[in-house]
Amino acid sequence: MSRGSHDNARDINSAAPADGPNLNRRTLCVRAAQLVLGVAVGIPPATFGAGVGESSFQPIGGLDQWIDIRGADARNPVLLVVHGGPGEAQWPVAEMYRPWEKAFTVVQWDQRGAGHTYRRYGVRTPDVTLEQIAKDGIEVAQYLCRRLQKRKIIVLGHSWGSIVGVRMVQLRPELFAAYIGTGQVASWKESVNMQFELLRAKSRQEGDATAIKQFDAIGKPDPNNAQQYFSFSKGLRAAMAPPDQAWLRFLRERASALLASDREDFQNVLDGMDFSAKQVLPDQMKADLPATARRIDTAFFLIQGKDDVVTPAKAAIAYCEQVESPHKDCIEIPGAGHFAFMTAPAAFLTELTNRVRPVAIARGA
C-alpha cells in the first residue's frame, strides 16, 4: 500500500500533539507565535516538531515527481535514497528504512519512469535518461534544502542509482555533504566480464554441458552486445549470495501480497521497472566510472556487500580506491551481496551512523 496520496500533497507533522477542539488562550498564542516566526524566517512547520512525515508530488524537471520525507527529528541530516532497478521504487519496503529514521531524515523519490511518478505519465514519460534523471535529482536536493532548511544533504545510490548519484555529485557537489554508494557500479564492461567468468566457472564446476557449450561458443563476451549478455547472464540469480537470493524470494512474496491488496499502485512499480530498464539500458552500457568519475568533490563512502556478484565487489572496491575526494571510506560487509542495505541492516546502519553521519554533519549536512 502506498504511503502517499496520488493526487494531493499530504503534510503530516508526526510530532504534533492531538489537541481537542478547544485550545486554551496560552496554547493559541504560542501556536500563533510559532507560525509567525516560521513565516518570517522561512522555517517549515516540520522544524518545530520532533519529527517530519510527508508525501507529495513536486514539480521536478517539468514533471510531477513523488517525494516522501520521514524522520524522527527534523534536525537530523537529510539522506536522499536514489533507488536502483532501474525503476525500483522503494516505498513497498518502507519498513526497512524505519530504523534509519532515528538518525536521518530519510527521503524516498520515485524517479521519472518509476512508481507513483510513472503512474502520472506512463509510457509517455519523456527524457528517461541518466543525464535528465541526475538533473532531476539535483532539483530534488534543492527542494529538500529549502523544505528542511539545510545547506547540504547526503545522497545514497544503489545499483543503477549509484550511477545517478555519482553524476548528481559531479554536477553539483556543493549541494551534498556526502555520497554513499552500495551495490556500486564501476563499469558495465567489467561487470559483464566478471559475471561471464563467474558463470562459466560455475557451469564447469556443476558439469552443466549445455551451459559450458554456450560459454565456450561465446569465448569472450562483447560488452556492447546486450542480447548476448542477457542470454548468458540468466543464471546469475543462482550465483548470487544466499542473503540476496532470500531477499529476492521475499520480494516475490511481497509482490503477490501487494498485487492482491493494492493492484493499481504496485502494478505501476512493475510496469515502471520494465519501462525504465528499456529506456536507460544505453546509459547503463556506457557506464565507466573509473574513467569518467574519479574526482568527487564531496565525501565519498562505499558500503559494499563483499559477496556482490551483480555489481562485483572487486570492481566496486577498485573504483573506490581510485576515487579522489576530500574524504573517502571504502567499506565491505562480509556475507552480504548486492542488497547489503536490506540483508545486513544492522551492519549497514552502523556504518551509516558511525562513519557517514559525523563526517556529513561536519561538512554541513
Domain boundaries, the chain: 50-187+243-362, 190-239
| Cα 220 to Cα 96: distance, rounded to the nearest angstrom | 40
| Cα 288 to Cα 188: distance, rounded to the nearest angstrom | 7
Q: What is the pLDDT of residues 322-355, one digit of tens each?
A: 999 999 999 999 999 999 999 999 999 999 999 9
Which of 158, 63, 159 is closest to 112 using CA atoms?
Answer: 63
* Partners of 64 in beta bridges: 59
For residue 313, give every residue at least 6 positions away whose Cβ sits within 8 Å of its Cβ, in sequence order, or none.
304, 305, 306, 307, 332
Give the pLDDT means over successive 10-residue stretches in the chain (365 positions).
34 34 36 33 47 96 98 97 97 96 98 97 98 98 97 98 98 98 98 97 95 94 96 95 97 88 88 97 98 98 98 98 98 98 98 98 97
For the chain, list the strands marked E by DSSP.
10-12, 52-60, 63-71, 78-82, 105-109, 153-158, 176-182, 299-305, 328-333
Burial of 284 per CB tally in 10 Å (0-12, 13-18, 19+): middle
Per-residue model confidence (pLDDT) at position 255? 87
Question: Alpha helix locations (H) across 149-262?
Answer: 160-171, 188-206, 209-218, 226-232, 236-239, 242-261
Q: Is CATH 3.40.190.10 what the domain over 50-187+243-362 is classified as, yes or no? A: no
| Cα 275 to Cα 111: distance, rounded to the nearest angstrom | 12
> Does residue 180 sit in helix, strand or coil?
strand
Per-residue model confidence (pLDDT) at position 43? 37
Q: What percent of the chain has pLDDT over 70?
A: 87
- Do 168 and 133 contact (CB within 8 A), yes or no? no
Q: What is the pLDDT of residues 234-275, one digit of tens each?
A: 999 999 999 999 999 999 998 888 888 888 888 999 999 999
